[in-house]
Chain A
Amino acid sequence: MLGTGAALAAAALLLLVHAEAGAGRAALADARTERLVAALGLTDLALFTEASYTRHPSLTDLNTPFQDSPLSFEHFPTGSLMQPPLSLVHPHVAKH
């Protein structure tokens, strides 16, 4: 059992080293992506493509999720996964 514990601790250390080493590789990949972001003026991650306000949460407002009809509920599953940007919930925070 002590051997298993030591093996787990060694594996955890190895993964921490892996994480550190991966940071350099990620920076190179990020540099290519950063150039694309700058060239196209991108604002959001392409993670949730199901609705405009989930595809571009940084550009959305509080009306968009409910725009289908005045009394409609926000119904896309992603809406339950993420919360609105801080600038919409606390506009005064965003200003400062």
Chain B
Amino acid sequence: MSRSIERQLHLIDFTVGSILRRKGKNGALLLVYTLVIFVLASVLFFTRSLRAEAAAVLKNAPDIIVQRTLTGRYQFIPMGYADSLRTIRGVASIAPRLWGYYYDGGFGANYTLMVPNDSTVQPGTIEIGSGIARLRNIRVGDIVPLIGHDGNPQTYTVARILDNGSALVSADLLLMAAADYRSLSGIPDSFATDLVLTVRNPKEFPTIAEKITRLLPDTRPIVKNEILRTYDAVFNWRAGIILLLFTVVILAFFIFSFDKATGLSAEERKEIGILKAIGWETGDVLAMKFWEGIALSLMAFLAGAILAYVHVFFGSGFLFAPILKGWSTLYPSFSLAAHINAGDLAALFFLSVVPYTIATIAPAWRVAVIDPDAVMR
């Protein structure tokens, strides 16, 4: 083994002993440091996985959705608009969508009503998302009353509960037949909620969207690319509480580093003085402090990242649930597939290990260059 490696191993051995001599202080530091990294890593893992999940499942979203708005308010779209849109070259098909919301006053929950285009739901029956089934304790075959637009209750038999595996997109869905939806909502046959366009060439999305706006100025086309990008922006690090959390964590790192960089305790100064007096060189002292910084910050980084992984992917991010739920009564129960990004891990590593290690070396260097006699006094 080369002499320099052997020297570093001895230094590491001494550093470990030095850290263990100050168990209480270093243990507390490690605990808080781990906690800070745990919070940051949990947010990173959770948002990254949610974005990846959204991108994966929503890639089959409609090509273009055409809504109608009047002075910033949504309006039902006349079915006749479909005929105008059919004249646009590149549009392969147009289908009306019937959907809306239903507020369940008894449970304080909002459901999303939808009519599947393939008419799989029989009139008089409904299919519900697993979130609704759990909230209302509903089983297949149960009768569910819904209050119609005229105030009269209409009853439906639950034909199917949607697979919980798709809860992330379907927890609050209530699927019904078109005739039932129109009778419940009062929307006339000549109107739909919006129109869905299939486009032959994805490169033509922007051109077709522009043509739609020109042809029907009271409409608003939403293209698939925008839908896919939505969750990138929604869970971007700049978003509301995530930004707040990042700021707090970075501030905590700053306080750690500042505390380290502003000076050593009397005991640590004495230790350096003694080491210098018995023949250690400044380089040895700095190497020891380097290993001390690396040991503490690397352990905190590993422990924090492991705990965050367990929290997000085994515990479904249970600590985030109260924040994510907001005022929602209905919340999907889902487990995220682990999407670990090397860039995120590298950023976390450099944010946690590098500044702390540098901040550990800097004050030690200031002390190590002074005469040992003066340091020990």
Within 8 Å by CB of B167, from A39, A44, A46, lies A46
Within 8 Å by CB of A76, from B111, B233, B236, B326, lies B326
A71 at the interface (CB under 8 A from B): no
Q: When the two chains form their complex, are residues B241 and A80 in contact, meaning their CB atoms are under 8 A apart?
A: yes
Cross-chain pair count, CB within 8 angstroms: 218
Interface string of B212-239 (1 = CB under 8 A from A): 0000000010110111011111111011
* A16 contact set on B, CB distance < 8 A: 340
Q: When the two chains form their complex, are residues A86 and B73 in contact, meaning their CB atoms are under 8 A apart?
A: no
Task: Tell me the B12-34 residues at the A interface (CB within 8 Å).
Answer: 12, 16, 19-20
Interface string of A35-76 (1 = CB under 8 A from B): 111111111111111111011011101011001000000001
Docked complex Cα distance between A45 and B57 (Å): 9
Docked complex Cα distance between A82 and B20 (Å): 44
Q: Taking the nearest CB of chain B, how far is it from the CB of A65, in angstroms?
A: 11
B124 at the interface (CB under 8 A from A): no
- Report, as a range, how many residues of chain A touch the other chain: 35 or more
Q: A22-B337, A36-B162 are in contact. Are A58 and B306 (CB under 8 A)?
A: no
Docked complex Cα distance between A45 and B51 (Å): 10
Q: When the two chains form their complex, are residues B240 and A34 in contact, meaning their CB atoms are under 8 A apart?
A: no
- Report, as a range, how many residues of chain B touch the other chain: 35 or more
Q: When the two chains form their complex, are residues B338 and A18 in contact, meaning their CB atoms are under 8 A apart?
A: yes
Docked complex Cα distance between A81 and B299 (Å): 31
Within 8 Å by CB of B61, from A18, A19, A42, A55, lies A42
Docked complex Cα distance between A25 and B335 (Å): 12
* A83 contact set on B, CB distance < 8 A: 233-234, 236, 238-240
* B302 contact set on A, CB distance < 8 A: 5, 8-9, 11-12
| B327 nearest CB neighbor, chain A only | A50
